Amino acid sequence: MAELKVTTKKGDTKIFKFVIETKEQLEHLKSIFKKWYKHGVEIKEEFTNHKFKTVCLEVIGNKSYKEIQQLKDELKKEASR
């Protein structure tokens, strides 16, 4: 099960929980999340069954806060090209 928290421009937080059943679903969601990061949508994601934090549904494990922010910044830079 995955959980997604989306913060709207008005500052409201919406929480979505969903089950990923196939690799195809996982890849499709990764694509969507990348687009959202690139467009500056504020999202937080994790696999709730183990509380693994993720970026584009890839477990970030032992990465520091700074490394995670660099990854998100790279995604945003790709969108501006």
Locate 61 and state its tokens: 């494990």
Q: What is the pLDDT of residue 80?
A: 61
Which residues in the chain show pLDDT less than 50? none
pLDDT at 56: 74
Q: What number of H helices and E strands is found in the chain?
A: 2, 5
Which pTM was predicted?
Answer: 0.65
The helix-helix angle for 65-80 and 23-38 (nearest 10°) equals 80
